[in-house]
Chains A and B, each alone.
Chain A
Amino acid sequence: MSDVATIAHNDFRNVRRSRILWGVIALYVAFMALLFYASGTGASPDVRDTLFGAVFITTLVLPLVAIAASYLAVAGERESNTIRFLLSQPASRRSVVLGKFLSRGLLLTAALVVAVLVGVAFVLALYPALEPMALAKFTGLTLLLIGAYVSVSIAISSASASRSRAIAATMAFYFVTDILSVINAFSVKAAMKWVFGEILGLGISEELYEGLSTVISPAKAYVNSTLAIFSPENFQRIQIPGELPFYLETWFMIVVLLAWVVVPLVAGMLALDGAEIG
């Protein structure tokens, strides 16, 4: 297993010298800084209020940053032939996938930590209260979002022999599971309702549609998981009619996100294991 650490270390060393990647990360940090600053200088600044906007920005932007940082992790090595150097060493292909995941995940974690620290600085300067629990929950749940999208991107990268395939597949995944899942009017959920409800005439409850569309989208699972921060008791904008089924509770959202970290990673290992490096 020591080769995982070596690969992660050297991959991190290589990738952190990429200026383009720093640019993409800086964009996310800048969005967050702007949000915390703008809310902080408005009337009656509130951390939860600001975090509500932060979840929105993070849901749309951070998966894109994760994809940009990860989609070439393995496919790029195959296209540029550097993988021959790596696999000529006694490194297992599974260690390559795992090492890449750790390295790219660490990069995204660093981006998140910087963004949150900048946010905390603004909170300390401009807000009446810090609300550390809300900030900590936001950070923890966002880490899971990062893990899910980095894992999927690494898996797709491991299954792709070329750069173009990797970018096509990761972007398709982003659009379906993020844009088309979290925007309600035009969403995968609406499509499911149309197919199952209108066409097949199945009587499926609203909650079940929500649950189904959540299981297939890490971004949606992330958004729903933030109920842990914005519970109806402490956040006016969130209203829940009646009792939530278990599969829409926060703990289940965390299970879904964890599955999105583990399952693609295993699939990526198997894909690279079976790949012919010709």
Chain B
Amino acid sequence: MAYCFITIPALDSIFPRLYLYLLASHVALVNGCLPQGEALIKAAITLLRDVPAVEGAHQHRYRPHVAAMMIADDC
């Protein structure tokens, strides 16, 4: 988690960064790392401030993943 938290900001494109924060927070929550999951979500929300109004079309190739399937349904 710490590795992800530190290395994700090194990416250039903003949307891959956002989705990676989300994926990392999924993993953190599923493994019971609540503070890390929260920190990652906070980082994603903070990063939303930097989303530009327009972006190059080539930067949009990152597609949503199926990480939501990792969340257990036994709540």
Query: Does B associate with A?
Result: no
Residues of B within 8 A of A (CB): none
Residues of A within 8 A of B (CB): none
